[in-house]
């Protein structure tokens, strides 16, 4: 096998989920109301402990970020205006940010690059370039595309003790069956379970 054809960096998703697999709008009621979703903000009671853990475990080493359009438009104004003394803000602002959209966007957040057109082939080529881990934050619709294109190497999941019964789910119908390997797990004091899985 030609070693130059192997991906030189991995792609990981970082997702917050309810017990019934919903990942839609964890942060606030206005975050994503598509499909008539009215239960946004379900993670807010657990936020502080989870974010401390996520930052320590999954966001302390350099990484590039991959966003869908809606998540980028949610993150950009918040983090670009965050204090320069916030280590997480400094990390995210300095990271390269790839934004998947077929619409024209105002990429005012520093180090942002638009990806449009043949998404799967372009992200495959991106993974073959040297560089940092590519980490997807939120971006439920984009993740469905990445699953269909078999581009995810690692699943970084935080499962909250919440049941909603509706909303966009991480794993929907048509997902390719596969086995994963658990490489790290932990639980916050307020009952949120962290599990990081990799592809064998």
**Domain CATH number, residue 127:** 3.40.430.10
- Cα–Cα distance, 116 to 103 (Å, whole number): 8
- Cα–Cα distance, 124 to 27 (Å, whole number): 30
Percent of the chain's residues with pLDDT above 90: 80
Predicted pLDDT of residue 144: 94
Give the range of the structural domain holding residue 134, as residue numbers without chain letter.
Answer: 3-198
Q: Indicate whether 60 pLDDT > 90.
A: no
- Cα–Cα distance, 157 to 140 (Å, whole number): 13
Count structural domains, the chain. Answer: 1
Per-residue pLDDT tens digits for 106-156: 899 999 999 999 999 999 999 999 999 999 998 999 999 999 999 999 999
pTM of the model: 0.91
Per-residue pLDDT tens digits for 25-51: 999 999 999 999 999 999 999 999 999
């Amino acid at each position: 096998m030609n070693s130059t054809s192997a991906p030189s960096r991995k792609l990981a998703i970082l997702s917050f989920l309810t017990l019934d697999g919903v990942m839609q709008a964890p942060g606030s009621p206005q975050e994503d109301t598509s499909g008539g979703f009215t239960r946004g903000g379900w993670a807010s009671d657990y936020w502080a402990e989870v974010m401390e853990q996520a930052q320590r475990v999954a966001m302390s080493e350099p990484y590039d970020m991959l966003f869908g359009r809606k998540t980028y438009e949610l993150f950009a104004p918040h983090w670009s205006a965050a204090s320069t003394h916030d280590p997480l803000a400094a990390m995210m602002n300095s990271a390269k940010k790839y934004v998947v959209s077929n619409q024209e966007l105002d990429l005012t957040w520093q180090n942002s690059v638009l990806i449009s057109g043949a998404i799967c082939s372009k992200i495959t080529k991106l993974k073959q370039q040297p560089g940092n881990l590519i980490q997807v934050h939120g971006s439920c619709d984009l993740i469905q595309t990445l699953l269909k294109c078999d581009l995810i190497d690692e699943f970084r999941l935080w499962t909250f003790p919440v049941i909603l019964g509706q909303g966009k789910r991480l794993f929907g119908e048509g997902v390719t069956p596969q086995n994963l390997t658990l490489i790290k797990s932990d639980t916050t004091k307020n009952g949120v379970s962290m599990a990081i899985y990799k592809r064998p």
